[in-house]
Amino acid sequence: MNVEKAAQLSGRALELVVMHLLVLLSIVDHYNRVARDSRKRVVGVLLGTSSRGTVDVTNSYAVPFEEEDKDPRIWFLDHNYHESMFSMFKRINAKEHVVGWYSTGPKLKENDLDVHALFNNYVPNPVLVIIDVQPKELGIPTKAYYAVEENATQKSQKVFVHVPSEIAAHEVEEIGVEHLLRDVKDTTISTLATQVSSKLAALKGLDTRLREIQGYLDLVIEGKLPLNHEILYHLQNFHQLVSVHVQRTICTIAQ
């Protein structure tokens, strides 16, 4: 079924799903912490905005999820945890709302339509994004879908329709990801002294920025500056990037 026919069936023309770098980074981190070196998958909620046929996925969070390997009809997603998390996220950025959910693939599973139906309680037409965390080929590691009614015989049933997806990033995300990827390099080129100097300079810069952020937040709390949701949104992104980096460092030390 093509997208045009799907749009007619669903009453909404969904043409593109845009995944941001920070979201992909968070999902990969979720997988590495929970399901790495196993056959399990991880599931979470996608947040963002939708307008004119485009779903812009700008944030995400993990949700406890279990499923029975032998019987795909048996699964559990902690919707109470999801509702609690979304309530907290909504206080930080009121513009972001639930746009769907993610699953580490690489393919759709038999019970995905049932899980998808759960998210209809939170958004009229949710998207499902499958992320291949261990891609074997070059290309975009995401595949996006949404569900439509299809009259196969005498009764209608839901089917998934593929939607094009692409990767995007705000400037703050590009800078953060660039800093995280600086560790992925040829260690034979740089000396220990160079690495220490680089880390020290980075920490000094981070300390300066943190003091600026603290000063701004103090002024907001004192009522001397108005509350700006866009600034809080960027601060949240920054906090998540730092959290991912700290978790990776702890895992490296533990190994």
pLDDT of amino acid 73: 85
Asked if pLDDT for residue 87 goes beyond 70, the answer is yes
Nearest to 99 by CA among 165, 39, 34, 36: 165
Inter-residue contact 85 to 77 (CB < 8 Å): no
What average pLDDT does this structure show over 96-102?
Answer: 96
- 157-201 confidence digits (pLDDT tens): 889 999 999 888 766 666 655 555 555 444 444 444 445 555 666
DSSP state of 160: E
More confident position, 44 or 200: 44
Chain-centre distance of CA 83, in angstroms?
A: 17
Asked if pLDDT for residue 254 goes beyond 80, the answer is no
**43-51 and 97-104 as β-strands: parallel, antiparallel, unpaired?**
antiparallel
Nearest to 110 by CA among 70, 60, 143, 146: 70
Can you give the pTM of this predicted structure? Answer: 0.66
pLDDT of amino acid 189: 41
Structural domain boundaries of the chain? 3-168, 171-254
Mean pLDDT of the chain: 80
Reported confidence tier of residue 100, pLDDT bands at 50, 70, 90: very high
CATH class, range 3-168: alpha beta
Asked if pLDDT for residue 255 goes beyond 80, the answer is no
What average pLDDT does this structure show over 92-114?
Answer: 91
